[in-house]
């Protein structure tokens, strides 16, 4: 989880209808404090608005009560209230702040992570130069600084090109993955949704491939599409969230034999 130390709170938040409704409830002050603590926890986790105990473990109600230092029943009442008013959504065991981009600058977070990475890279390069004895005198040190500035300029330009190329690749990946989901699940999700793109980008940054996304989609469509209780979870927030890797490695009964059968039918069809 990246080190993000801020979230956005709007100055008119207490004029919002949902907050006014919450203020009419018992323990309203505590519920509002829990809401702010949830926002802070989501910002600290920096995982697309999910409330996480660690990188791979979502925080449950009991853990929230302990960490937030609030009674368990009050935490449960608060979560029920937030869910009713559409302020959070529940994805399996994980709780996520809805419309997370309203509370956190997603692009700003990516910029902070990039800056941290570049700063550490630059520090390592300087340390390596010192160890190799490149800085031997004041004059040579000044010359090295000039050279370093030129190198930094070239690197910045190169990074801009790489970032532009990566952005184009991501845009293509978003469309291919969402088009595949819509085709297989009969849905109509948009590949331009910022929340959806953020989920896919997070998994791509973890080195998962487009084929991994298609495998997860195939498995869950096979398991859930005909089940009215689970078909509603054939959506990006569920498929591409914190359980993505477990879905990818999940053994789905009947899936492999079904896939083998389809492959054989395809092979028979192309034999003349």
Q: How many other CB atoms are there within 10 angstroms of residue 86's CB atom?
A: 10
pLDDT digits (tens, 9 = 90+) for 183-223: 999 999 999 999 999 999 999 999 999 999 999 999 999 99
Higher pLDDT, 28 or 112: 28
- 3-class DSSP state of 90: strand
Q: Domain locations in the chain?
A: 13-102, 169-255
pLDDT digits (tens, 9 = 90+) for 32-80: 999 999 999 988 888 888 999 887 899 999 999 999 999 999 999 999 9
Query: H/E element holding 97?
Result: strand 94-97
Question: What does the alpha-carbon distance between residue 221 and residue 225 come to, in Å, rounded to a whole number?
Answer: 5
pLDDT given at position 267:
46
CB 214 within 8 A of CB 177: yes
pLDDT digits (tens, 9 = 90+) for 118-163: 778 888 887 777 777 654 555 555 566 666 666 777 777 777 776 6
At 6, list the tokens: 């801020």
Higher pLDDT, 226 or 121: 226
Return the residue matching tokens 């608060």: 78
pLDDT digits (tens, 9 = 90+) for 84-105: 999 999 888 889 998 888 777 6
Cα separation values, 35 from 6, 31, 59, 78, Å: 15, 6, 14, 8
Q: Using CA atoms of 200, 104, 100, 183 in order, give the dihedral in degrees to the nearest 10.
A: -20
Q: Which residues pair with 89 in a beta bridge?
A: 96
Length of the chain in terms of residues written: 272
CB 178 within 8 A of CB 141: no
Question: What does the alpha-carbon distance between residue 220 and residue 227 come to, in Å, rounded to a whole number?
Answer: 11
pLDDT digits (tens, 9 = 90+) for 231-247: 999 999 999 998 999 99
At 188, list the tokens: 């109509």
Return the residue matching tokens 């105990």: 53
Higher pLDDT, 83 or 254: 83
CB 16 within 8 A of CB 75: no
pLDDT given at position 270:
38
In 3D space, the residue among 85, 8, 84 whose CA is nearest the CA of residue 49 turns out to be 8
Pick the CATH number of 13-102 from 3.40.50.300, 1.10.10.10, 2.60.120.10, 1.10.240.10: 1.10.10.10
pLDDT at 261 over 70: no
């Amino acid at each position: 989880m990246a080190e993000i130390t801020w979230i956005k709170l709007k100055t008119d938040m207490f004029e919002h209808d949902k907050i006014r409704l919450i203020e009419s409830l018992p323990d309203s002050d505590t519920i509002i404090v829990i809401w702010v603590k949830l926002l802070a926890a989501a910002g600290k986790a920096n995982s697309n608005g999910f409330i996480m105990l660690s990188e791979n473990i979502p925080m449950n109600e009991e853990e929230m009560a302990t960490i937030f230092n609030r009674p368990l029943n009050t935490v449960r009442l608060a979560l029920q209230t937030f869910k009713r008013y559409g302020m959070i959504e529940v994805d399996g065991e994980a709780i996520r702040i809805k419309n997370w981009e309203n509370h956190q600058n997603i692009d700003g977070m990516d910029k902070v992570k990039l800056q941290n990475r570049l700063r550490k890279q630059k520090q390592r390069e300087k340390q390596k130069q010192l160890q190799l004895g490149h800085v031997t005198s004041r004059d040579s040190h000044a010359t090295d600084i000039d050279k370093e500035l030129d190198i930094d300029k070239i690197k910045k330009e190169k990074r801009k090109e790489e970032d532009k190329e990566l952005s184009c690749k991501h845009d293509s990946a978003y469309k291919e993955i969402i088009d595949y989901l819509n085709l297989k699940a009969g849905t109509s999700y948009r590949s331009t949704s910022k929340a959806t793109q953020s989920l896919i980008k997070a998994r791509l940054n973890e080195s998962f491939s487009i084929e991994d996304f298609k495998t997860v989609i195939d498995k869950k469509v096979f398991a859930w599409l005909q089940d009215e209780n689970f078909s509603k979870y054939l959506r990006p927030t569920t498929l591409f969230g914190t359980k993505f890797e477990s879905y990818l490695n999940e053994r789905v009964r009947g899936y492999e034999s079904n896939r083998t059968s389809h492959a054989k039918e395809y092979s028979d069809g192309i034999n003349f």
